[in-house]
Structure 1
Amino acid sequence: MFEFNPRKLRRTVIEMAYAGSTVHIGCAFSLIEILAVLYRNHLRYPSNDPHALARDYLVLSKGHGVMGQYACLHEKGWVQKSDLDNYFGDGTRLKGLSDGHVPGCEVTSGSLGHGLSVGVGMALAAKLAKTDQYCYAIVGDGEMNEGTMWEAMLFATHWSLDNLVVIVDENGFQAMGKTTEVMRLGSLQNKFSAFGFEAVTIDGHDEGAIEKALVQLKANKNGTPKAIVARTVKGKGVSFMEHQNIWHYTRLTEDSFGAAMAELERE
C-alpha cells in the first residue's frame, strides 16, 4: 500500500524546486494533504496503470501546484527519481505546469479556468458510458475569478454530474496578492450551493476531515455535483513560507533549501 506521507511529499517538492531553481513552492505545499488522501484512498488505477481505461480522473486545474502531484506520481512509480532530479532542466518531461504527456497527469493546465471544463467533460463521458468512474478537479481560489469556472459549474448541475468532485484549494492568495484584495469571492460554499452543488467547507490540512468529506459526499448518488472548499495555508509545512505570498515566485538558495529540509526532517 502506498503511504503518501505529507512530510515526505513536501521534502520531494523542496528537492525538485531546488534542483530546477524554480518557483511555485507555496502553492504546491497547500495541496499536499488533499493529494495524499486522494491518492491513498480514492483514486482507482486498476493494476496501478495510469492509462487504465477504468481509472478515476484527477484534473489539476491549478496546474502550477504540479510539484505536489509529481511527488505523488513518484511514489506511484510513474515518475522516476531521475525525472525529479532533472526537474525543469533541459530535455525534462517534468515542466512547471501540469502536462498531459506525463503519466498520471490527465490535462495540460496552467492557463487558469480551463481545467474544470475538461473535468466536467470527463465526468459527463463516464456518465454516458455508464461507468462508476469519478472525476476529481482541484482548483485554486484565485482561479475562481474566471468566468469559465462558473459556466462549467452550471453545465455540471444541468447534467446531474454526481461523479464530479471539485476541490477548491482556498489558501487565500493568488499570484499578485490576497484573493480578498484582487477579487472578493465571499463564501465559496454558498456560491457552489447556489449553482446546484452539494458543498462543504473543511480544514484542507486535516486528513481525517478531507477523508470524511469525500466519503460522505460520494455516498450521496443524488444527481448533484459535489464541492469541497478546503481552507489551506499557502506554504504549509515550512514555517518561513507559511502565509508568505513571496514564495509564489521566490527561488530557493542554498541556505533556504537547507533550512526548509531541516524543518521537514525534524520529528
Structure 2
Amino acid sequence: MTVPTPNFDAKVLRKTVLEMAYSGATVHIGCAFSIIEILAVLYRNHLRYPTNDPRAAGRDYLVLSKGHGVMAQYACMRELGWLDDEAFTKYFANGSDLKGLSDSRIPGLEVTSGSLGHGFSVGVGMAMGAKLHGTDQKTYAIVGDGEINEGPIWEGALFAAHHGLKNFMVIVDENGFQAMGSTEDVLKLGSIQAKFESFGFEAVTIDGHDETAIDSAIARLWKSDTGLPKALIARTVKGKGVPFMENNNIWHYTRLNPDTYRQALSAVAGEST
C-alpha cells in the first residue's frame, strides 16, 4: 500500500471532524475532540502498520472502546490514505460505509464498539493472543472516564494484570463528562490512576492535549521493566478547540447548524498547537 505523507496536526484533524459532523448532520463532536492529540501522537510516533496496511499481520492494535469518538480516528485514517475524500463528503449518507460508532468491518478499526465497556476486554484478549504467539505487537485501548463505570473494564483489568500483559496499554480519556452529565455527578471515580494501580497496572497521569507529554509518557511506560500492563490517564477537555463546545456537555448530542459550523471552523483555524 502506498505510504502518503500524513498530516496529524490537531487543527487539520479537528477540521476534518467538523466537516464530517456537518456533512452527515451527526453528533459526538465533543468526545471526538478530546482524543485528537492522543490519536495524533499514537499514529505519528507509536503505532506500527507494516507497509501502511491497516490489516497487516504484524500490526499493533488500537481499540477505540469509546467508539462514539470514531470521527477522530476516521480523520487520522484519512491522513494515512486508508479512507478517500468521498467517504467524508458522503459521511452518513445513504449507502455510506462509515458509521457513527467504531465498526470492525472498516480496515483500521479493530472492534465494533459503542456499547461501552467491552472494547477494553477485547483489547486485553488481543494482547493475550500476541503474548501466546510470541509476537512483539502492542495493544492500545482508549476508553472514556464515564465508560470505566462498567464492570467489564475491571474484569479485563484483573485478567491483564494476572497474566502479566506488559504489551497492553489502556488510555483513559478523562474529560470529566459522560452522556448524561459529569462523571463526578453520575458516579464518582476518585483517582483513576490509583484505581488502575490497585488492579496491578503501572499508571501515569498527564495533560491529554500536550503532545510532548503524551509521547514521553507512552515511551516511558513501554521502556519500563516492571512487567505490568500500562495505564495512561489523559486529562482532557471535552470539545477541546472550540470555546463554545469546551466542557459543554450539550455537544455530546448537538448537531451543527450553518452558524455554529462556521464559528467552529473559525475557532479551530485559530487554535494553537
Q: Please give the TM-score of this superposition, normalised by the length of structure 2.
A: 0.97
Q: What is aligned with 2:187? A: 183
1:217 to 201, 214, 221: 221
Unaligned runs of 5+ in 2: none
| 3-state DSSP of counterpart to 2:32 | helix
Residue of structure 2 equivalent to 1:144: 148
Given the alignment, which residue of 57, 63, 78 partners 2:61?
57
Taking the aligned partners of 2:191 and 2:251, their CA distance within structure 1 comes to 26
Q: Which secondary structure state, in structure 2, belongs to the residue aligned with residue 167 of structure 1?
A: strand
Deviations 1:109-151 (A, max 9, x none): 0000000010000000000111110000000000000000000
Aligned to 1:79, the other structure's residue is in SS state coil
Q: Distance in 2 between matches of 1:222 and 1:52?
A: 29
Q: Does 1:39 align with 2:39?
A: no
Residue equivalent to 2:30 = 26
Q: Distance in 2 between matches of 1:58 and 1:221?
A: 22
- 1:123 lines up with 2:127 in the alignment: yes
Percent identity between the aligned chains? 66
Q: Structure 2 counterpart of 1:105, which letter?
A: L
Question: Matched residue of 2:171: which SS?
Answer: strand
Q: Which of 106, 109, 114 is equivalent to 2:110?
A: 106
Runs of 4+ in 1 over 6 A off after TM superposition: none
* RMSD, matched Cα: 0.8
What is the correspondence of 1:129-168 to structure 2 with a 5 Å cutoff?
129-168=133-172
Instruction: Tell me the distance in 2 between the aligned counterparts of 1:134 and 1:88.
Output: 32
**1: distance between equivalents of 2:170 and 2:268?**
29
Query: How far has the Cα of 1:264 moved from its partner?
Result: 1.5
Give the drift of 1:153.
0.1
Q: Secondary structure at the match of 1:189?
A: helix
Match of 2:270?
266
Per mean C-alpha deviation after superposition, the further-off stretch among 23-32 and 85-94 is 85-94
Supply the distance in 2 between the matched residues of 1:208 and 1:266 (Cα, whole angstroms). Answer: 20
Question: In structure 2, which of residues 256, 259, 263 is the aligned counterpart of residue 252 of structure 1?
Answer: 256
Query: Distance in 2 between the 1:3 and 1:85 partners?
Result: 19
Instruction: Describe the SS at the equivalent of 2:17.
Output: helix
Supply the distance in 2 between the matched residues of 1:222 and 1:230 (Cα, whole angstroms).
Answer: 21
For residues 59 and 262 of structure 1, what CA distance do their matches in structure 2 show? 31
Cα deviation for residue 263 of structure 1 reads 1.6
The offset of 1:188, in angstroms, is 0.3
Q: Deviations over 1:84-116 (max 9, x none)?
A: 111111111110000001110000000000000
Q: CA deviation at 1:211?
A: 0.5
**Structure 2: distance between partners of 1:236 and 1:180:** 19
Which string of whole-angstrom CA distances, capped at 9 and with x for unpartnered residues, describes residues 52-108 of structure 1? Answer: 000000000000000000000000101111001111111111100000011100000
Letter in 1 for 2:269: E
User: Unaligned 5+ residue runs, structure 1?
Assistant: none
How many pairs align? Answer: 267
